[in-house]
Amino acid sequence: MKIAVTSQDRTHITEHAGHCRRFWIYEVNDQAIAQKAFVDVSQDQTFHEFSGNIPDHLADVQVLISGGMGQSLTQRLAWHGIEGLVTTTTQPDAAVSAYLSGTLATQSPEQQTCTHGEGHDHHHH
């Protein structure tokens, strides 16, 4: 199983999965993290810009964990067999461990609140 986590700064889970260019990719065996790798992609490979179905770097993951994603991205992921999860957990390793143990606190896209200031030009719905 592979799990991707949005992480622009390599340390925290990033909001706005659609604009994220940096991901931790975890390989999981027997409900434990076997290895992880950091992936940095070009702007045209973000979900927001990508014109195809799923960018190559996420094509073989089963779960995408982020601090925020819209309902349309959640549906797009589901169409390709990827479970899109929004969490308030801020640490990538902790989120993956919580997911594996069945204790990851998640929110639906409708429950999300933006915490990065006003004046941005997107909507959470």
The percentage of the chain sitting over the pLDDT mark of 70, rounded to a whole number, equals 85
- For the chain, domain boundaries: 2-111
Instruction: Please tell me the CATH code under which domain 2-111 is placed.
Output: 3.30.420.130
Q: What is the pLDDT of residue 106?
A: 92
Q: What is the pLDDT of residue 121?
A: 39
> Which residues are registered as beta bridge partners of 24?
5, 38
Is the pLDDT at 71 greater than 70? The verdict is yes
Q: What are 38-61's pLDDT values in tens digits?
A: 999 888 888 888 766 778 888 899
Q: Which residues contact 26 (CB under 8 A, 6 or more apart)?
A: 2, 3, 4, 5, 33, 35, 36, 96
Neighbour tally for 101: CB within 10 Å: 9
Look at residues 29, 30, 23 and name the one whose alpha carbon lies nearest to residue 5.
23
Q: What is the pLDDT of residue 55?
A: 81
